[in-house]
Amino acid sequence: MTAAREKNFISAVVYLHNEEGRAAGFLEMLRKVLEERFEQYEIVAVDDASSDGTAQEVRRFAAEQMEKPLTLLHMSLRQGREKCMNAGQDCAIGDFVYEFDSILTPYPEALIFQAYQTALQGSDVVTVGPSRVRAGSRLFYGVFNRFSRSAYPLGTDAFCLLSRRAINRVHAQSAGLAYRKAAYAASGLRVSSLTFEGALQGSRGGDLDLAVDSLALYTDAGYRVSLAVTGCMFCLALAELLYTLAIFFRGDFVEGWVTTMFVLTLGLAGLFLVLTIVVKYLSLILKLTFEKQDYLVESIEKFQK
């Protein structure tokens, strides 16, 4: 079995937040899969400022089970999946990097190695997702894929596998990764998707903010919406001008308070909508330009027998 194992060095980045009861079980499953298939590997566990005993469980597991390196990153405060996964990715040194931003496993364990086999066939990014997704996720990805500039559509993922070339490419293209999946799809490298029967369970906090940021950064949805609002306002102004001229030539002058207030109300609503979109883009530009440190790490622990 040892002679048949793969030679490439593999890293697995795992996101953890208040997973005291499930962290050790997932890490043990992951360890067994990696130990069976790869000669050299490491696990990078990112503790997103957990308030329970998640860190203690990871330490216990590392002391009892791990023979290969395990790195435990402690974030200074809770910063969300995206920043934590970026921190873990920066610590990973593997030729290929697995990203598990959830330790729920509704998929067969065999898909973990199958993703690696797919990568060897020429894909730099391999995503593994469910066949059934929530209505909200379906709506978001439908809008995103409609307005995105990527050749590969996005979908709900359980985990993904990246080559070192993909990681280097996305970091060279952008100073910060507000939404990793969109950056991978927009990298220009080949992306493959694997699907399993079932659905992902559980809620991922911060999805709304992430969705808005992603649409603003990786699609032209904001520009399309502002353009549509501008067109509507122009048509409304033109209709009002024609109505005013018609009243003038008829000589039927009436009080125009209702019409005036109607136009002013819609006009101001459209103006504020466009300004909101502009402010969102400006805030993202400010954040990506002036925030040199994308995440805050409190400490790093390394375990190896």
Query: For the residues of 184-225, what is the DSSP string, one character each?
Result: HHTTSS-EEEEEESS---S--TTHHHHHHHHHHHHBSHHHHH
With beta carbons less than 8 A apart as the criterion, state whether 46 and 75 touch.
yes
CA 191 distance to own-chain centroid = 15
- Pairwise CA distance, residues 188 & 166, whole Å: 9
Hey, what are 125's tokens? 């990014």
- Residues 97 and 161: their CA atoms lie apart, in Å, by 6
The predicted-structure confidence for 138-168, as pLDDT tens digits, reads as follows 888 888 888 887 778 888 899 999 999 999 9
Cβ atoms of residues 92 and 42 within 8 Å: yes
Q: What is the pLDDT of residues 182-222, one digit of tens each?
A: 888 888 899 999 999 988 876 555 567 777 777 777 777 77
**Which CB contacts under 8 angstroms, 24+ apart, belong to 267-275?**
267/233, 267/236, 267/237, 270/229, 270/230, 270/232, 270/233, 271/233, 273/225, 273/226, 273/229, 274/226, 274/229, 274/230
DSSP 21-86: TTHHHHHHHHHHHHHHHBSSEEEEEEE-S-SSSHHHHHHHHHHHH-SS-EEEEEESS--HHHHHHH
- Bridge-partner residues for 266, per DSSP? none
Q: Are strands 191-196 and 125-130 parallel, antiparallel or unpaired?
A: parallel
Domain map (residue ranges) of the chain: 10-210+293-303, 221-290
Going residue by residue through the chain (305 aa), what tens digit of pLDDT does each one get?
A: 445 889 999 999 999 999 999 999 999 999 999 999 999 999 999 999 999 999 999 999 999 999 899 999 999 999 888 889 999 999 999 999 999 999 999 999 999 999 999 999 999 999 999 988 888 888 888 888 888 877 788 888 999 999 999 999 888 877 667 788 888 888 889 999 999 998 887 655 556 777 777 777 777 777 777 778 777 877 877 777 777 677 767 766 566 655 776 677 777 777 877 877 887 777 677 666 645 556 667 778 888 76
Question: CA gyration radius for the chain?
Answer: 25
Looking at residue 205, what is its pLDDT? 53
**What pLDDT, on a 0 to 100 scale, did the predictor assign at position 248?**
67
Kindly state the tokens that stand for 174. Answer: 């952008």
Structure tokens at 155: 């979908």
Asked whether 72 and 81 are in contact (CB, 8 A), the reply is no
CATH pick for 10-210+293-303 out of 3.30.930.10, 1.10.10.10, 3.40.50.1380, 3.90.550.10: 3.90.550.10
Q: Which residues pair with 16 in a beta bridge?
A: 47
Which residue is it, tokens 């002036």? 290
Look at strands 41-47 and 10-16 and give their pairing.
parallel
Q: Which helix (H) or strand (E) holds 245?
A: helix 221-250
Q: What's the predicted TM-score (pTM) here?
A: 0.78
